[in-house]
Chain A
Amino acid sequence: MNFKALLLASAMTAAAVPGIALAQDLTVGFSQIGSESGWRAAETTVSKSEAAKRKINLKIADAQQKQENQIKAIRSFVAQNVDAIFLAPVVSTGWEAVLKEAKEAKIPVVLLDRDIDPSGKDLYLTAVTSDSVHEGKVAGEWLVKTVGTKPCNVVELQGTVGASVATNRKKGFEAGIAGAPNVKIVRSQTGDFTRAKGKEVMESFIKAEGGGASICAVYAHNDDMMVGAIQAMKEAGLKPGKDILTASIDAVPDIFKAMAAGEANATVELTPNMAGPAFDAIIAYKTKGTVPPKWIQTESKLYTAADNPQAVYDSKKGLGY
């Protein structure tokens, strides 16, 4: 309740003095996790370019995967009295104290890519994240549409056992194919999100399914495993993309290379552009007082061979993936 009152108050202040915070005057502090993956590096690159596009002054603090560094960064952003703080939380708990400090300083906080514990819901303005259940669903629906009424045995390469992304992408895909009894998951194993394991698991899938003859499609929880699986199919004398359809998630550059070569069929993008929608929300909040919804879902765009994969590859390879 308290927070709502505060929001209202700040909204009214902002409304009362229109134009007090034009976009070009905004300074945003971004506490980034660190370089844990290629996607993370791309997110940082895109954040910088999105900030430049809006003439926002963006300060990025690299936490090197440590929460205490993120807390320090947020404190220093509060001390610098920035206009907004973006946080990509490395873990989901332990943010109450420092987010309260930001709130007391009346600095809105936007979470990027990951959420925090529900108990901290009052402490941030909005969270910009992707819905990983939806991502899986998009992949599943694509497959159902592509195979039509033909029977289709799918093998699944799961992410790391217990990772929420893996659980969600599995759930979403199952929901996506639920309406099509002809599409069935016949084998499912973990490839730990890595190329090497994706390749190894696919090798045994091929052998267990009669040399791959009874496999109609592969679904991988990320593109890296699919890149490994594509190699395994090629080494087994199969034609990935033709003999066996592929659907995966993330949209990293290398999958577009495979797609351009006709060896991959579809990927669902986990966009590295989380900062763009967050900037827009902050600008609207600061200039017009618009309070954004608590959750801004990013688009899970489907890419297929029809989307000029070579051009997408060229545009993505410079992002630091």
Chain B
Amino acid sequence: MALRLPRAGLSQVGALAVILLVNWIVSPQFFDIRLQDGRLFGSLIDVLNRGAPVALLSLGMVLVIAMRGIDLSVGAVMAICGAIAASLADSHALPVVLAASLGAGLLCGLWNGILVAVLGIQPIVATLILMVAGRGIAQLITEGRIVTFTSPALAWFGGGSVLGLPTPIVLTLVMLGLTAAIVRGTALGLLIEAAGGNARAAALSGVGTRAITVAVYVWCGLCAGLAGIVAAADILGADANNAGLWLELDAILAVVIGGTSLFGGRFSIPLAVIGALIIQAMNTGILLSGFPPEFNLIVKAVVVLAVLLLQSPRLGLKLGRRKP
């Protein structure tokens, strides 16, 4: 298994380091970590913990984007899966809850994959359908209310910990390892890059692009389902109106910051997760800084612009850096 962190990844890791440093300057206790009720506690842990849902989404999104697709429905899928998990949590055993919830995520992904790969609908339109309808489905499940639950088993997915690490972080690490193992441990990654870079050439060379396309959307739906469970477990309830709202955009941004082109082809799974952490580190920094909230979006936009400019090969040339 080769977890490649290409040289180009230096700009992302560098950007994350700079943002963390700025956070430390803004709030000197940023790197303080202590144990609270057997769970690590500190701002740095918050960045990882709060970043987990978007990081999970980006794990699926990066493969979809590598296939030259896009999945706008992940936020709505989060809401659906969270709603199912919260509604079943107090009346069913955990395996049933997880199976139902993740199964729904899988079905959503399958729906998107079939629309794109079999019916040939443009990904942005195909997934827009579920983006709009999905939130409605989630509201139907919760009947428009915030469905709360008390099941400690499901709550563990948001508030529990493994060896002190909050569960969402552990889940993200496991999913990162799993995705990387499946994609980079086999020829699948190569096939995705081939099909994403040039679908026709790949198909003519005998790559089963259709099956791979369906598979990446299914994986994306599954990751979104898990993110939805984490989000619901975090607040001990399902908020169909707000769970995962606009997170599809954060996930796409994370993938793009991670250096994957929206035109498909080359991609990096670990850098997409780094991208998600950059976004969250920024959010947490803004919250710690004490700036008035009116500045939140402006600060965010400026930082994203700076990170993307850092990666621009043309700007690099102008500054006298050699093209990587």
Count of residues in A whose CB is under 8 Å from the partner chain: 35
A69 contacts chain B at the CB level, 8 A cutoff: no
How many angstroms between the C-alpha atoms of A153 and B27 in the bound complex? 18
Q: Are A35 and B144 in contact, with the CB atoms below 8 A?
A: yes
The A-B contact count (CB < 8 A) is 84
Binds A, one of B118-126, B180-188, B215-223, B284-292: B284-292
> Closest CB-CB distance, B134 to chain A, in whole Å?
17
Q: Are A161 and B146 in contact, with the CB atoms below 8 A?
A: no
Given A196-B234, A196-B239, A321-B145, A188 contacting B27 (CB threshold 8 A): no
A131 contacts chain B at the CB level, 8 A cutoff: no
Residue of B nearest to A161 (CB): B293
B293 contact set on A, CB distance < 8 A: 158, 161, 188-190
Q: Are A199 and B36 in contact, with the CB atoms below 8 A?
A: no
Binds B, one of A113-121, A133-141, A200-208: A200-208
Binds A, one of B10-18, B42-50, B109-117, B191-199: B42-50
User: Looking at the complex, which one of A35, A187, A196, A236 makes contact with B243 (CB distance below 8 Å)?
Assistant: A196
B91 contacts chain A at the CB level, 8 A cutoff: no
Given A161-B293, A236-B41, A254-B148, A228 contacting B242 (CB threshold 8 A): no
Given A41-B144, A236-B41, A208 contacting B235 (CB threshold 8 A): no
A208 contact set on B, CB distance < 8 A: 27, 29, 287-288, 290
> Closest CB-CB distance, B210 to chain A, in whole Å?
37
Residue of B nearest to A191 (CB): B293
Residue of B nearest to A196 (CB): B235
How many angstroms between the C-alpha atoms of A197 and B247 in the bound complex? 13
Q: Are A38 and B144 in contact, with the CB atoms below 8 A?
A: yes
How many angstroms between the C-alpha atoms of A163 and B237 in the bound complex? 25
> Closest CB-CB distance, A180 to chain B, in whole Å?
22
B260 contact set on A, CB distance < 8 A: none
A204 contact set on B, CB distance < 8 A: 43, 46, 284, 287-288
Looking at chain B's contact residues, is the secondary structure mostly helix, strand, loop, or mixed? Answer: mixed
Given A37-B241, A38-B144, A200 contacting B287 (CB threshold 8 A): yes
A203 contact set on B, CB distance < 8 A: 46, 50
B241 contact set on A, CB distance < 8 A: 36-37
User: Looking at the complex, which one of B139, B146, B288 makes contact with A195 (CB distance below 8 Å)?
Assistant: B146
A321 contact set on B, CB distance < 8 A: 145
Q: Are A201 and B146 in contact, with the CB atoms below 8 A?
A: no
Residue of B nearest to A227 (CB): B235
Complex interface residues of chain A between 218 and 232 (CB less than 8 A to chain B): 224, 227-228, 231
Complex interface residues of chain B between 230 and 278 (CB less than 8 A to chain A): 231, 234-237, 239, 241-243
A228 contact set on B, CB distance < 8 A: 235
B283 contact set on A, CB distance < 8 A: 200
User: Looking at the complex, which one of B46, B144, B148, B294 makes contact with A207 (CB distance below 8 Å)?
Assistant: B46
A179 contacts chain B at the CB level, 8 A cutoff: no
How many angstroms between the C-alpha atoms of A174 and B302 in the bound complex? 31
Q: Are B36 and A35 in contact, with the CB atoms below 8 A?
A: no
A196 contact set on B, CB distance < 8 A: 231, 234-235, 239, 242-243
B312 contacts chain A at the CB level, 8 A cutoff: no
User: Looking at the complex, which one of B50, B148, B243 makes contact with A200 (CB distance below 8 Å)?
Assistant: B50
Q: Are A199 and B234 in contact, with the CB atoms below 8 A?
A: yes
> Closest CB-CB distance, A60 to chain B, in whole Å?
15
A277 contacts chain B at the CB level, 8 A cutoff: no
B146 contact set on A, CB distance < 8 A: 38, 195, 224, 254
Complex interface residues of chain B between 3 and 40 (CB less than 8 A to chain A): 27, 29, 36-37, 39
> Closest CB-CB distance, A184 to chain B, in whole Å?
13
Residue of B nearest to A237 (CB): B36
How many angstroms between the C-alpha atoms of A93 and B12 in the bound complex? 47
A57 contacts chain B at the CB level, 8 A cutoff: no
Residue of B nearest to A166 (CB): B293
User: Looking at the complex, which one of A35, A190, A199, A210 makes contact with B296 (CB distance below 8 Å)?
Assistant: A190
User: Looking at the complex, which one of B43, B242, B294 makes contact with A161 (CB distance below 8 Å)?
Assistant: B294
How many angstroms between the C-alpha atoms of A203 and B39 in the bound complex? 14
> Closest CB-CB distance, B224 to chain A, in whole Å?
16
Q: Are B290 and A195 in contact, with the CB atoms below 8 A?
A: no
B242 contact set on A, CB distance < 8 A: 192, 194-197
Complex interface residues of chain B between 145 and 159 (CB less than 8 A to chain A): 145-146, 148, 159
A320 contacts chain B at the CB level, 8 A cutoff: yes
Residue of A nearest to B244 (CB): A196
How many angstroms between the C-alpha atoms of A203 and B47 in the bound complex? 11
How many angstroms between the C-alpha atoms of A188 and B50 in the bound complex? 20
> Closest CB-CB distance, A87 to chain B, in whole Å?
21
> Closest CB-CB distance, B204 to chain A, in whole Å?
47
Q: Are B148 and A237 in contact, with the CB atoms below 8 A?
A: no
A197 contact set on B, CB distance < 8 A: 242
Q: Are A201 and B236 in contact, with the CB atoms below 8 A?
A: no
> Closest CB-CB distance, B46 to chain A, in whole Å?
6
> Closest CB-CB distance, A212 to chain B, in whole Å?
11
A201 contact set on B, CB distance < 8 A: 287
User: Looking at the complex, which one of A190, A195, A210 makes contact with B237 (CB distance below 8 Å)?
Assistant: A195
Q: Are A41 and B36 in contact, with the CB atoms below 8 A?
A: no
> Closest CB-CB distance, A193 to chain B, in whole Å?
8
How many angstroms between the C-alpha atoms of A200 and B293 in the bound complex? 14
Residue of A nearest to B27 (CB): A208
How many angstroms between the C-alpha atoms of A228 and B243 in the bound complex? 13
Q: Are A38 and B145 in contact, with the CB atoms below 8 A?
A: yes
A41 contact set on B, CB distance < 8 A: 144-145
B27 contact set on A, CB distance < 8 A: 207-208
Residues of B within 8 A of A (CB): 27, 29, 36-37, 39, 41-43, 46, 50, 139, 144-146, 148, 159, 231, 234-237, 239, 241-243, 283-284, 287-288, 290, 292-294, 296
13 contacts between A and B (CB under 8 A): A38-B146, A161-B293, A161-B296, A194-B239, A196-B231, A196-B242, A196-B243, A200-B50, A200-B287, A201-B287, A204-B287, A207-B46, A224-B146
**Smallest CB-CB A-B distances: 8 pairs:** A204-B287, A190-B293, A35-B144, A195-B235, A194-B242, A207-B43, A208-B288, A38-B145
